[in-house]
Amino acid sequence: MRIAMTKNVLLLLAAFVWSFAALAQQPAKRPNIVIIVSDDHAFQAISAYGGNLMQTPNIDRIAKEGATFNKAYVTNSICGPSRAVILTGKYSHKNGFKDNENSHFDGSQNSFIKELGKGGYQTAWVGKWHLESDPQGFDYWKILPGQGHYFNPDFINMDGSRERIEGYVTSITEDVAEEWLDSRDKSKPFALVIGHKATHRTWMPDLDDMGMFDDKTFPLPANFYDNYTNREAARVQDMTIDKTMIMGYDLKMYPDYDNLKEGNIVRMNAEQRARFTAYYKPIYDDLMARNLQGKQLVEWKYQRYMRDYLATAASLDRSIGRTLDYLDKNGLAENTIVIYMSDQGFYMGEHGWFDKRFMYEESFRTPMVMRYPGVVKPGTTSEHFVMNLDIAPTMLDAAGVAIPKDMQGESFLPLLTSKKAKGREAMYYHYYENGEHSVSPHFGIKTGRYKLIRFYKRVEGWELYDLQKDPSEMNNLYGKKGYEKITAKLQKQLEGLLDKYEDDGAKQLLAKEGGNL
């Protein structure tokens, strides 16, 4: 009898062990994914990054409840190419979308969205797309044509039809996202990308946000009056607040507000038009009365730019808050990854500029915060190099979906969950456009301390910066005595990255210089 009892206990114990093992092998509940991508939002304008230009409480909330990436960068600082990199996990020379001038995204190629779809996810993209072709591989999409408009924007539907929706684009994009979340198949995990037009040029605030920063005077960046000494590519650009920013198109200063034909304004309804005129016309009248000239006028333009830009960013932050509130109210927050990022950085007057494109820090670096309850500890700060190239493999990693071998990015989840994980020692960048704002195409390498850039076509030449001594990148050290060894080391590292990422075009360009760099 004792033997029989012992046998029964052993059988029960074995059954328990087997059940526990089987349970342990079952996949954990897969997270939902929400990626919010804005346009041209500068990290300098986000309070989570220590900026004092404005408060961004909802972006800050993601940072406080998750992670802030202090060293997030892009592979190519321009709108469409950045989105193509996010989707494919590949550099521009691999996914084919190099610039906004000539590129057309080949939607038949693979993307992390397609892989998630095959893995059982329901997928959607709403808002700004800007890839010159219709989305492929999504269960649902509703996108802005091209850059879209701030007021009463048109949207393209999946059947090819267009509809104009009354209102302000940031709020409408959030409305469409929530409508899809309400109607989705709730038996499946979801991946949603919300693409915002804000804060893209021409920085048109929502009606209730107009004037919210008019009582604030913003300090000029220390290098606002940069003279671009020994930096030819910076000298020949055409993106200065002084000479390039347009009084009408950009700053809404017009002699006759009653007969405006500008496209962003003629689409307004009567109420919107009246409030627009009521706000901007007195500013124009005051400007004319003051008759500002020289530096006084340049600095006036800077203040006007900052006020409109930041007021436009306010609606963006408010919309992000709506997304977070929706997840809370619908019991989704605890199992949903939320990433907020811009498609690249932006100049807030540094070097006297607006726009992006350059490999200099304000353009190259992008804001990115991420919340992943139960996985990423709240209040995490990451000092690892990460890139928009890494979004695709990271989302697949989190979802338990195999990462295609041809994706060039790397999952950054280990960097957030393990103190032993090691990230990149260096990053590779390549910008291709040769028309807009007269920024010369260039590629280069950034390490923890140094940056080496090779400009070509419009301007030919190299630039080297010691970011520890010169974080504003004002002193080009290339060719200067004493920097021969570090230059040679960086050039060798750059060669290695060209080989790793198979950028044959850059390799061929350098080969013309005589083989080794």
Give me the CATH number covering residue 448: 3.30.1120
Task: State the pLDDT at residue 13.
Answer: 45
Band (24; pLDDT cuts 50, 70, 90): very low
Q: Which of 329, 336, 339, 421 is nearest to 384 (CA)?
A: 421
For residues 358 and 441, the answer to whether their CB atoms sit within 8 Å is: no
For the stretch 136-148, pLDDT in tens is 999 999 999 999 9
Using an 8 Å Cβ cutoff, are 176 and 184 in contact?
no
Residue 11 lies in a domain: no
Instruction: Identify whether residues 314 and 292 lie together within a single domain.
Output: no
Long-range contacts, stretch 164-172, CB < 8 angstroms, 24+ apart: 164/267, 166/269, 168/206, 168/207, 168/315, 169/144, 169/196, 169/197, 169/198, 170/196, 170/197, 170/198, 170/206, 170/315, 170/316, 170/318, 170/319, 171/206, 171/315, 171/319
Strands (E), 343-441: 368-371, 380-382, 386-387, 426-431
416 in a structural domain: yes
Domain boundary among 270, 301, 332: 301
Q: Classify 223 as helix, strand or coil.
A: coil
3-class DSSP state of 313: helix
Residue 136 and residue 78 share a domain: yes
List the structure tokens of 158. 């999946």
Q: What's the rounded Cα separation, in Å, for the pair 217 and 425?
A: 40
Total domains, the chain: 3
The reported pTM is 0.93
Residues 98-143 pLDDT 10s: 999 889 999 999 999 999 999 999 999 999 999 999 999 999 999 9
Whether 274 and 138 map to the same domain: the answer is: no
Q: Is the dihedral of CA 375, 379, 384, 390 positive or negative?
A: positive
**Quick one: DSSP state of residue 197?**
-
Q: What is the pLDDT of residues 83-98, one digit of tens each?
A: 999 999 999 999 999 9
Structure tokens at 203: 């920085």
Q: Whose structure tokens read 């001594």?
A: 469
Say whether both 415 and 448 belong to one domain.
no
What pLDDT score was predicted for residue 511? Answer: 83
Say yes or no: 132 and 264 in one domain: no
- Single out the residue of 348, 366, 62 nearest to residue 213, CA to CA: 348
Residue 194 has a pLDDT of: 98
> What is the Cα–Cα distance from 169 to 147, expressed in whole angstroms?
11
Q: Domain check: are 197 and 341 in the same one? A: yes
75 lies in the same domain as 112: yes
What is the structure's pLDDT at 28? Answer: 60
DSSP 255: S
Task: Using alpha carbons only, give the angle 101, 103, 109 rounded to the nearest 5 degrees.
Answer: 160
Residue type, 170: T
- Residues of the domain holding 477: 442-514
Contact 237, 434 (CB under 8 A): no
17 pLDDT exceeds 90?
no
Spatial distance between the Cα atoms of 458 and 474, rounded to a whole number of angstroms: 20
Q: Are residues 159 and 53 in the same domain?
A: yes
For residue 497, give the 3-state DSSP assignment. Answer: helix
